[in-house]
Chains A and B, each alone.
Chain A
Amino acid sequence: MRKYALLILLLSSIPSISQNCENTLSGTVTDLHDGSLLAGATLIVAGSERAVVTDLDGKFTLKNLCDDTYSIQVSHPFCLTKGFTIKVSGNTTKNFKLEHHLEELNQITVEGKAYSIKSKTILENTISKEELERFSSGTLGDALNSLSGVSSLNTGNTVVKPLINGLHSSRVVIINNGVRMEDQEWGAEHAPNVDINSAGNLTLIKGAGVLQYGGDAVGGVIVAEASKVPVKDSLYGKTLLTGASNGRGTSLTSQLTKSYQSGWYATVQGTLKRFGDFEAPEYVLSNTGIFERNASLHAGFNRFDYGIEAYYSLFKNEIGILRASHLGGAQDQIRAINSDRPLIIKDFTYDINAPKQDVTHHLARIKGFKRFDGFGKMSLQYDFQRNNRLEFDIRRGADRDKASLDLELNTHTLMLDLDSHLTDAVSLKTGIMARFQNNFADPNTGVRRLIPDYDKYDLGIYTIVDYRLNDNLFLEAGGRFDYTFMDVFKFYRTSFWESRNYDELFPEIVVEELDNQILTNPQLNFYNPSATFGATYNFNEEYKLFLNYSLASRAPNPSELFSEGLHHSASRIELGDLRFNSEVGHKVSLTLQRDNENFSFSVSPFINTINDFIVIEPTEIQQTVRGNFQVWEYRQTDAQLLGVDFDASYALAENFRFNHQFSLVKGYDSSQDEPLINMPPVNTKNEIVYQNPEFKNLRLALQSEYVFRQNEFPDNNFEVFIPETETMETVDVSTPPDAYHLINFNSSIDFKTTQTSTLTVGFGITNVLNTSYRNYLNRLRYYADDLGRNFLLNLKINY
């Protein structure tokens, strides 16, 4: 700790240059591509706090310079920040050229960060602000679903969990504004607690290439970043209002930013979302409403060579879970599965009753950075997250309104990172991370703890080196090591403890024996190495090849280790295993990309071999007084996933474009030689877009989405005795639903209302044909159809 402090104190004593010199440096800043003059570009003389901004003609003048060599950093909100070395001798003129780093307006990648946290040898998929706004009333998972290779594991249509190349939950790391989300992401019915409206852009990396935040992303990494605030005096904002017919709800989100020339800025943002019961084509999906309230505050001081920022966000979400999905034993399951319609259908309402989830997530972070000449950029970040998760089941009597699950997860993380250019061609990024996490399960629920109380300590260290060999070949290598220590207090049922032979294997961890429970204190250590190696090769201006190998290792999560009991939302008994070790994945991915105005495409095959893959699957039927339940046990096996993602975009004619996406993934349990459960079926999306920038930026898009039937699945069916008929009946929990085809329509048009404000009106229809369908990856597919037709009206004002 003392070292950090010394470092910080050191930072505060950089002397400024004070010499009596009279030279002037003047010139213009222009766009490298089209030569247009860039107004509002900031020039900073490194080593001093002197800065000037270009005027409307892109001109600048720096006075009082000596005959010397200066490092000058030139930045502009829409461009890559670039450093120049200038020799000043007398009054000097110099014109600077900057490169637009993204063509799309408004999509501004966070300076520095965009290049250091993400992998350069895995193709990244990005969702721009404009596209994100179309999902304003949806969820993060819905937006990600629009990318090839991403599907989602749903619980109904409001709990949407991203699934990257077939993997989800703890295998997908979500970085929200530079903070790794710690929000009980292990559960399949736990959606990411991120307000989609707080993100300026979303980036997806299908691999573990982002070592800065952890080496355990066996599936992939999702990065949500806030928009960059320009260093100039301005005040701007936007408000988005969406109304939707299905769910009869609205979503309102607003954002306001104030920034100053001096580098200070502040942004406030808030979202309010309220929907009632959603509807399938033929009936109301009772108790599927949602009530979401979010707010975030972002403030800071940003200069080229140092800066500090603070961020706080509150995410609160109340989600109803389909009433008909809450079941007793296997006999109820049979009735529910065999019925075409949900067993409980009530009139539409905005009320959200049990079963439901109520999640509150606080995230606070503070970060400071300082650049040192010839050394690099040093940043220090502390973040705190508090996740409180309440789940309500159908209960009897006095406990009716009491949560069945009440977990509070607190996480503190400290990160120190160094970003350094060793030479022009080689850059280095390295850092250390310390994390403390505490989980508290409230015993007042009157239901045995699903996740036990624990303290978890993580320590990580990483280094990534980039090497630009020549203009065409770029190499990247990185390594990371994580140490995890878990100190757990867990009550086991005596009968379970003995049936697993834990009484002989782990007698030393027993703290106390109660009537029918045993209190234990498992202390677990995990050592996880991870690495990434990759190369990018440019054949020419258009063609590019990415090749990457990532090694990821992930410590088992608390639910895989300690689950023990009935999971109501799945109507099954889930059992974890204390003996698990870390899961290790090896992923090789290759991408061939063509970037061309008229016809661009990318094809990305991958192969992911995972040793000690933790999978949950049914093992037996357990009898209880309540009837029979299927028992699902976690076990470790070796898994193999392979697939390909294909994207293409073709300009049919002026303003007309055809977009195509195709994703395929196959997953096998190689030790048992059978398919893995919940692998996304093959799917393809085809879209025709008309966009006319000359006529109010009118955009019309017609999309077809075809999802094939999943033909490879493990057989987890079981039989149960039905007393009424005195027969054994099969409970079919395995057979995937049929293929389906959905048509969606989307349109938008811009109106300039005043000089500085634009009104965008959008109208869309999803599931235009009101098709009844069930999705293999929706956990509630046994009980009800998916959503029917939905009309969406979208109003956006930029000001």
Chain B
Amino acid sequence: MRNLKFLATAIFATVFFVSCSNDDDAPDPVVEQEVITTMTVTLTPNGNGTPVTLQTRDLDGDGPNTPVVTSGTLATGVTYNGRIVLLNETVNPPENITEEVEELDDEHQFFYTIGSGLNVTTEYSNVDGDGNPLGTQFTLTAGAASSGSLTFTLRHEPKKPNTGLSDAGGETDIAATFNVTVQ
């Protein structure tokens, strides 16, 4: 019988405990760590001239708004030094993700896919610790006047070295297509 009394006490204690532990404090917002909202490709003409900027920006991340894409026009015969910067603009100040990609260079690689109509060529300018391409920096040479798509793909943990996008595997961290004109 003593057990039952003990049970009653235990239940009272628990209910009391429950009613006390219930607080209505609002939770903290989550600081999103790994979102990439913005990719900016700055193409600086070799020698001098005004840089061309290609940008895709999606401030709500996986939210319903589509990315805002800004494209540019290249000049025939000019070689550009390309620099890719990735930002997480959901946090303030924006976080520079490029640094992280470059630190873990063996786990990343950018790929440049040139659409059939576009007359440009690209070449990697930076490599990882093993001498395999990384591609946050590259050179782009614009050929004859033309237009078409230019796609930048960042793969996480690709096979390295590889023979191209179809062979690389890994997971896509970025896939952004720009319509580019050379004139």
Residues of chain A at the chain B interface (Cβ within 8 Å): 1, 4-5, 8-9, 11-12, 301, 306, 308, 326-329, 331-332, 335, 343-344, 366, 368, 370, 380, 382, 384, 394-397, 399, 412, 414, 436, 438, 441, 443, 445-449, 452-453, 455, 487, 489, 491, 493-496, 499, 511-512, 514-517, 519, 521, 565-566, 573, 622-629, 721, 723-724, 726
Tell me if B8 and A8 are in contact (CB < 8 A): yes
Tell me if B14 and A412 are in contact (CB < 8 A): yes
Task: Return the 9 tightest CB-CB contacts between A and B, nearest first.
Answer: A446-B33, A328-B172, A627-B175, A723-B151, A12-B1, A495-B60, A493-B63, A495-B63, A328-B171
Residues of chain B at the chain A interface (Cβ within 8 Å): 1, 3-5, 7-8, 10-12, 14-15, 18, 22, 24, 26-34, 36-39, 56-67, 90, 92, 100-101, 103-104, 107, 113, 115-116, 149, 151, 153, 156-157, 165-166, 169, 171-177
Contact of A443 (CB < 8 Å), options: B28, B104, B153: B28
**Nearest CB of B to A454, in Å:** 10
Tell me if B165 and A512 are in contact (CB < 8 A): no
In whole angstroms, how far apart are the Cα atoms of A308 and B38 in the complex?
A: 62
Tell me if B60 and A516 are in contact (CB < 8 A): yes
Residues of B within 8 A of A1 (CB): 11-12, 15
Contact of B58 (CB < 8 Å), options: A370, A512, A624: A624
Tell me if A331 and B63 are in contact (CB < 8 A): no
Tell me if A396 and B34 are in contact (CB < 8 A): yes
Tell me if B30 and A491 are in contact (CB < 8 A): yes
Tell me if A627 and B172 are in contact (CB < 8 A): yes
In whole angstroms, how far apart are the Cα atoms of A512 and B11 in the complex?
A: 38
Residue of B11, B22, B174 ringed by the most chain A CB atoms within 10 A: B11
Cβ contacts A to B, 14 pairs, < 8 Å: A308-B7, A395-B34, A396-B156, A399-B33, A443-B28, A446-B30, A446-B33, A491-B30, A493-B64, A499-B64, A622-B62, A626-B173, A723-B115, A726-B116
Tell me if B10 and A397 are in contact (CB < 8 A): no
Contact of A414 (CB < 8 Å), options: B15, B63, B116, B172: B15
Tell me if A397 and B62 are in contact (CB < 8 A): no
Known A4-B8, A327-B171; further 13 A-B contacts with Cβ < 8 A: A4-B11, A331-B172, A343-B169, A368-B3, A496-B64, A516-B60, A521-B26, A624-B58, A624-B62, A625-B38, A625-B176, A626-B174, A627-B172
In whole angstroms, how far apart are the Cα atoms of A521 and B25 in the complex?
A: 11
Residue of B nearest to A7 (CB): B8
Residues of B within 8 A of A397 (CB): 100, 103-104
Residue of B31, B38, B171 ringed by the most chain A CB atoms within 10 A: B171
Tell me if B5 and A8 are in contact (CB < 8 A): yes
Q: From known contacts A395-B34, A516-B59, infer whether A331 and B3 are also in contact, taking CB-CB under 8 Å.
A: no
Residue of A nearest to B16 (CB): A1
Residues of A within 8 A of B18 (CB): 412, 436
Tell me if B62 and A565 are in contact (CB < 8 A): yes
In whole angstroms, how far apart are the Cα atoms of A548 and B28 in the complex?
A: 49
Residue of B nearest to A449 (CB): B30
**Nearest CB of B to A367, in Å:** 9
In whole angstroms, how far apart are the Cα atoms of A65 and B67 in the complex?
A: 89
Residue of B36, B60, B63, B151 ringed by the most chain A CB atoms within 10 A: B63
Tell me if B11 and A382 are in contact (CB < 8 A): yes
Main secondary structure of the interface of A (DSSP, over half): mixed
Residue of B nearest to A511 (CB): B26
Q: From known contacts A380-B7, A625-B67, A723-B149, infer whether A446 and B171 are also in contact, taking CB-CB under 8 Å.
A: no
Residues of A within 8 A of B5 (CB): 8-9, 12
Residue of B nearest to A324 (CB): B169
Q: From known contacts A394-B156, A622-B64, A723-B175, infer whether A8 and B4 are also in contact, taking CB-CB under 8 Å.
A: yes
Q: From known contacts A8-B5, A414-B11, A489-B27, infer whether A394 and B171 are also in contact, taking CB-CB under 8 Å.
A: yes
Contact of B56 (CB < 8 Å), options: A512, A625, A721, A724: A625
**Nearest CB of B to A338, in Å:** 11
In whole angstroms, how far apart are the Cα atoms of A306 and B29 in the complex?
A: 51
Residue of B nearest to A623 (CB): B66
Tell me if A623 and B151 are in contact (CB < 8 A): no
**Nearest CB of A to B97, in Å:** 8
In whole angstroms, how far apart are the Cα atoms of A583 and B173 in the complex?
A: 38
Residue of A nearest to B33 (CB): A446
Q: From known contacts A344-B169, A489-B26, A723-B177, infer whether A625 and B37 are also in contact, taking CB-CB under 8 Å.
A: yes
Residues of A within 8 A of B173 (CB): 328, 626
Residues of B within 8 A of A493 (CB): 60-61, 63-64
Residue of A nearest to B171 (CB): A328
**Nearest CB of A to B95, in Å:** 11
Residues of A within 8 A of B100 (CB): 396-397
**Nearest CB of A to B125, in Å:** 21
In whole angstroms, how far apart are the Cα atoms of A370 and B5 in the complex?
A: 13
Tell me if B172 and A308 are in contact (CB < 8 A): no
Residue of A nearest to B15 (CB): A1
Residues of A within 8 A of B59 (CB): 516
Tell me if A625 and B172 are in contact (CB < 8 A): no
**Nearest CB of A to B129, in Å:** 16
Q: From known contacts A724-B113, A726-B149, infer whether A329 and B15 are also in contact, taking CB-CB under 8 Å.
A: no
Tell me if A329 and B175 are in contact (CB < 8 A): yes
Tell me if A447 and B4 are in contact (CB < 8 A): no
Residues of A within 8 A of B27 (CB): 441, 443, 452-453, 489, 491
Residues of A within 8 A of B11 (CB): 1, 4, 380, 382, 414
Residues of B within 8 A of A331 (CB): 172, 175
Q: From known contacts A447-B30, A626-B175, infer whether A5 and B58 are also in contact, taking CB-CB under 8 Å.
A: no
Tell me if A368 and B63 are in contact (CB < 8 A): no
Tell me if B8 and A9 are in contact (CB < 8 A): yes
In whole angstroms, how far apart are the Cα atoms of A493 and B149 in the complex?
A: 31
Residues of B within 8 A of A489 (CB): 26-27
Residues of A within 8 A of B63 (CB): 493, 495-496
**Nearest CB of A to B9, in Å:** 9
Tell me if B62 and A566 are in contact (CB < 8 A): yes
Residues of B within 8 A of A521 (CB): 26
In whole angstroms, how far apart are the Cα atoms of A723 and B166 in the complex?
A: 11
Tell me if A308 and B176 are in contact (CB < 8 A): no
In whole angstroms, how far apart are the Cα atoms of A493 and B62 in the complex?
A: 9
**Nearest CB of B to A238, in Å:** 29
Q: From known contacts A328-B172, A397-B103, A412-B14, infer whether A724 and B34 are also in contact, taking CB-CB under 8 Å.
A: no
Residue of B nearest to A343 (CB): B169
Tell me if B172 and A332 are in contact (CB < 8 A): yes
Residue of A nearest to B90 (CB): A516
In whole angstroms, how far apart are the Cα atoms of A366 and B14 in the complex?
A: 12
Contact of A5 (CB < 8 Å), options: B12, B33, B38: B12
In whole angstroms, how far apart are the Cα atoms of A514 and B176 in the complex?
A: 28
Tell me if B165 and A724 are in contact (CB < 8 A): yes
Tell me if B26 and A519 are in contact (CB < 8 A): yes
**Nearest CB of A to B1, in Å:** 4
Q: From known contacts A4-B11, A414-B11, infer whether A455 and B22 are also in contact, taking CB-CB under 8 Å.
A: yes
Residues of A within 8 A of B101 (CB): 396
Q: From known contacts A366-B10, A397-B100, A565-B62, infer whether A491 and B3 are also in contact, taking CB-CB under 8 Å.
A: no
In whole angstroms, how far apart are the Cα atoms of A227 and B1 in the complex?
A: 25
Q: From known contacts A438-B22, A516-B60, A624-B61, infer whether A399 and B175 are also in contact, taking CB-CB under 8 Å.
A: no
Residues of B within 8 A of A721 (CB): 177
**Nearest CB of B to A574, in Å:** 10
In whole angstroms, how far apart are the Cα atoms of A439 and B24 in the complex?
A: 12
Tell me if A443 and B15 are in contact (CB < 8 A): no
Tell me if B30 and A308 are in contact (CB < 8 A): no
Tell me if A445 and B39 are in contact (CB < 8 A): no
In whole angstroms, how far apart are the Cα atoms of A723 and B112 in the complex?
A: 10
In whole angstroms, how far apart are the Cα atoms of A452 and B56 in the complex?
A: 30
Residues of A within 8 A of B174 (CB): 625-627
In whole angstroms, how far apart are the Cα atoms of A441 and B29 in the complex?
A: 11
**Nearest CB of A to B173, in Å:** 6
In whole angstroms, how far apart are the Cα atoms of A92 and B177 in the complex?
A: 97
Residue of A nearest to B91 (CB): A515
Tell me if A626 and B172 are in contact (CB < 8 A): yes
Residues of B within 8 A of A446 (CB): 30-34
Q: From known contacts A332-B172, A622-B64, infer whether A443 and B4 are also in contact, taking CB-CB under 8 Å.
A: no
